[in-house]
Amino acid sequence: IKATLDEYVIGQEYAKKVMSVAVYNHYKRVATDTMDEIAIEKSNMLMIGPTGCGKTYLVKTLAKLLDVPLAIADATSLTEAGYIGDDIESVVSKLLAAADNDVEKAEHGIIFIDEIDKIAKKKNTNQRDVSGEAVQQGMLKLLEGADVEVPIGANSKNAMVPLTTVNTRNILFICGGAFPDLENIIKERLNKQASIGFYADLKDKYDDDPHILEKVTVEDLRSFGMIPEFIGRLPIIFTMNGLTEDM
């Protein structure tokens, strides 16, 4: 898988390796259909990378190579059920449309949710956070595997549209986001031990570090505003580098 990705995508060695292994393990589970004997949770991924480093492109290439239905959704338009905006289930109905309304085929697809950093918790609000934390809460069951009722051939549920049930247990979710200002959170954590003296760590030690994002931990994502349960369902977290002149 990685060799084929190499033909399309420049650089990003680490990200490509991680994705290839995760996708391979995922489809090994799906194809052998030994879901009941082997208890491996599915390898949903979270990709973090600066804007324009090819997150969407990597996923598109992957789906083309695997020949599975792919739905690319945007987390910015998602809201809690009952509010104006896209329901969380609309992500699955996009996948169903991409699979030509074939439920069997859709259940083995990939869903790429872009701009995932836009549904972080809003800091200090007192009104309802319908596009932030509420969306993360609503996606918990979806990421893990649940039976979702989706409308066929439309993107909103109403009385006129027939519904069908899609099980998301074998759908691979890949979430991507640029997470602006995440570097500052990481720097803050790394600079905790700044002290006075000859051997002290300098405050600006990490300022020019181009690979600062690679030091990301789950703790940093939490302070960014993702809820712990949500991060817990994306076991594979990896970062991508911004494009350099050589690339």
pLDDT classification of 218: cutoffs 50, 70, 90: very high
Q: Is the pLDDT of residue 234 over 70?
A: yes
pLDDT of residue 82: 84
Structure tokens at 22: 């995760």
Q: What is the mean pLDDT of residues 143-160?
A: 84
Dihedral sign of CA atoms 193, 198, 204, 207 in order: negative
pLDDT digits over 52-99, tens only? 888 989 998 998 898 889 999 999 999 988 888 888 888 999 999 999
**pLDDT range class, residue 204, cuts 50, 70, 90:** confident
pLDDT at 39: 66
For 11-33, the pLDDT digits (tens) are: 899 999 999 999 998 888 887 76
- Closest Cα to residue 45, out of 63, 61, 59? 59
Between CA 110 and CA 92 the distance in angstroms is 10
Provide, rounded to the nearest whole percent, the portion of the chain with pLDDT above 70: 94
Please tell me the pTM assigned to this model: 0.90
Would the pLDDT of 102 be above 90? yes
User: Higher pLDDT residue, 201 or 143?
Assistant: 143
- For CA atoms 72, 77, 78, 84, the dihedral sign is negative
What's the Cα-to-Cα distance from 191 to each of 44, 105, 107, 216, 234, rounded to whole Å?
31, 49, 45, 14, 27
Per the document, the length of the chain is: 247
What is the average per-residue pLDDT within 147-170? 86
Say how far residue 150 (Cα) sits from the centre of its chain. 21
As a whole number, the mean pLDDT across the chain is 88
Over residues 105-135, the pLDDT tens digits come to 999 899 999 999 999 998 877 888 888 889 9
- φ and ψ at residue 38, rounded to 5 degrees: -95, 125
Which pLDDT score, from 0 to 100, does residue 32 have? Answer: 76
* Backbone phi, psi, residue 104, to 5°: -55, -45
pLDDT of residue 118: 92
C-alpha distances in Å from residue 215, one per residue of 114, 136, 183, 188, 220: 22, 24, 9, 12, 10
- Phi (first) and psi of residue 227, to 5 degrees: -80, 150
Confidence check: pLDDT of 38 > 70: no
3-class DSSP state for residue 238?
strand
Over residues 217-236, the mean pLDDT reads: 94
Closest CA to 174 of 3, 8, 15, 36: 15
Q: Count of CB atoms within 10 A of residue 41's CB?
A: 10
What is the per-residue burial (b if ≥16 Cβ within 10 Å, else e) of 180-205? eebbebbbeebeeeeeeeeeeeeeee
pLDDT over threshold 80, residue 195: no
pLDDT value at position 122?
86
